[in-house]
Amino acid sequence: MTVTGQARVAGVIGWPIGHSRSPQLHGYWLDRYGIDGAYVPLPVAPERLEQAIRALPALGLAGVNVTVPHKEAVLPLMDEVEPLARRIGAVNTVVVGDDAGLWGRNTDAFGFMAALRAGAPTFDPATGPAVVLGAGGAARAVVAALIEAGAPVVRLVNRTVAKAERIAADLGGPVEPIDWERRGDALGDAALLVNATSLGMKGRPALEFDLDALPLEAVVNDIVYTPLETDLLAAARARGNPAVDGLGMLLHQARPAFEAFFGRDPEVTTALRDHVLAGD
Ligand code: NAP
């Protein structure tokens, strides 16, 4: 697709930015739908963040996605922040309004829930307790999504239990912080298990987790997507649990941003998954 002088332009800011899959993902959709637009990686050092954000309207950008390490730091720079992003405490999408105002959103919770629904279509989060491992940035979005979807309780297991307690306080709702050493006790009647730690990711330590106490119908979702088939997912599938990988969350979280920047809710398809995986 040729980019003309009328093209809408968006991008992703982070530091470093070379690892981001967002340009590949949005670029695929721009081609697929023949949209006159461009989506580019924007390396922004932390000390230049405010300058870069303030320049977005002047440059005529439609908006940017925000990745590590800027997701929390951009929040106070917004003119308006959607309530969910404020509860999560992080912004991953900045939309430039017609009035040049900056609107901060967080689409990770949407992406998590859309991917879970796509990967386990008959599962209803309201039917039973959810166990979430981890209390970092990603876990915040996962917990917010589960509360919104009506989970009766979210057992939030983390090595640093104080971080789980902070999420419980920030998000409100039925969140029960649990110490990492007691993680096995949380599984008994669980309907869902989510790994939102960085354990099991390429280059990180393994997630050592015994699934024996987990009911066989419980859905297991690992939001780590490198590797795509983590040891946790392999163990879950081997004992018969439905398993959902982490790539879906990455793809679905990009949908609301693409729609805000380029005016169309794009589809997450097998061809898109293959395209993104081929970029590994
Ligand atoms: P983060 O803020 O750095 O949080 C890391 C979490 O892992 C914390 O809860 C940390 O516990 C825990 N952890 C790390 N090492 C541990 C260990 N040795 N033992 C026990 N717990 C340990 O990271 P994040 O941004 O939340 O991301 C977490 C993972 O989710 C990453 O692998 C990331 O790639 C993935 N992710 C996927 C998507 C997607 O779209 N699929 C989106 C976002 C993130 P402490 O609090 O005790 O340090």
Quick: pLDDT tens for 139-150: 999 999 999 999
Residue 86 neighbours by CB distance under 10 Å:
15
Task: Note the pLDDT of residue 1.
Answer: 67
Q: What is the pLDDT of residues 91-132, one digit of tens each?
A: 999 999 999 999 999 999 999 999 999 999 999 999 999 999
Peptide bond into 227 cis (omega under 30): yes
Task: Note the pLDDT of residue 275.
Answer: 93
Q: What percent of the chain has pLDDT over 70?
A: 99
Q: How far apart are CA 116 and CA 245, in angstroms?
A: 9
Q: What is the pLDDT of residues 209-230, one digit of tens each?
A: 899 999 999 999 999 999 999 9
Contact present, 77 and 54 (Cβ < 8 Å): yes
Strand-by-strand arrangement of the 8-14 sheet:
37-43, 8-14, 63-66, 93-96, 102-105, 80-81
CA of 138 to the centre of ligand 1 (A): 7
Mutate to test the pocket of ligand 1, among 22, 159, 277 (most ligand atoms within 8 A of CB): 159
Task: Note the pLDDT of residue 280.
Answer: 60
Q: What is the pLDDT of residues 190-204, one digit of tens each?
A: 999 999 999 999 999
Q: Whose CA is nearest to atom 4 of ligand 1?
A: 136
Ramachandran area for residue 150 (φ above 0: left; ψ -120 to 50: alpha; else beta): left
- Which pTM value belongs to this model? 0.96
CA of 199 to the centre of ligand 1 (A): 7
Task: Note the pLDDT of residue 100.
Answer: 94
CA of 58 to the centre of ligand 1 (A): 35
Contact present, 247 and 228 (Cβ < 8 Å): yes
Q: Is 166 in the pocket of ligand 1 (CB under 6 A)?
A: no
Q: What percent of the chain has pLDDT over 90?
A: 96
Q: Is 158 in the pocket of ligand 1 (CB under 6 A)?
A: yes
- Of 21, 70, 71, 140, the active-site residue reads 71
DSSP state of 159: S
**Could you tell me the two tokens for 60?**
């005529």
Nearest in space to 246 (alpha carbons), one of 207, 188, 191, 211: 207
